Amino acid sequence: MAQDFTFANVARVAHATADYWRSEIRNPRSDIFGRTPKVGVSYDRRFLSNRFGCLTAEVFAANEF
């Protein structure tokens, strides 16, 4: 993969996304205010895609999605 596309960076982006969505769920002016936090994670046939997808799912699960 590319030099910057690492497991650590994928986890970092997933965590930042979870933080952002969590703040939107708590924001009364947001379209997703008060909703149950859910996310779908998938992958394709590219190299290590399944492992990146699993890592992303683990990060979201750890953040109660």
Q: Is residue 1 predicted with pLDDT exceeding 80? A: no
Give pLDDT tens digits for 13-49.
999 999 999 999 999 999 888 889 899 999 999 889 9
Q: Is residue 1 part of a domain?
A: no
Q: Is residue 55 predicted with pLDDT exceeding 90? A: yes
Angle separating helix axes 49-62 and 7-25, nearest 10 degrees: 40
Q: Is residue 11 part of a domain?
A: yes
Number of structural domains the chain divides into: 1
Q: Is residue 40 part of a domain?
A: yes
**10 touches 56 (CB < 8 A):** yes
Q: Is residue 2 part of a domain?
A: no
3-state secondary structure of 31: coil
Closest CA to 18 of 26, 1, 7: 26
Domain that residue 46 falls in: 7-62
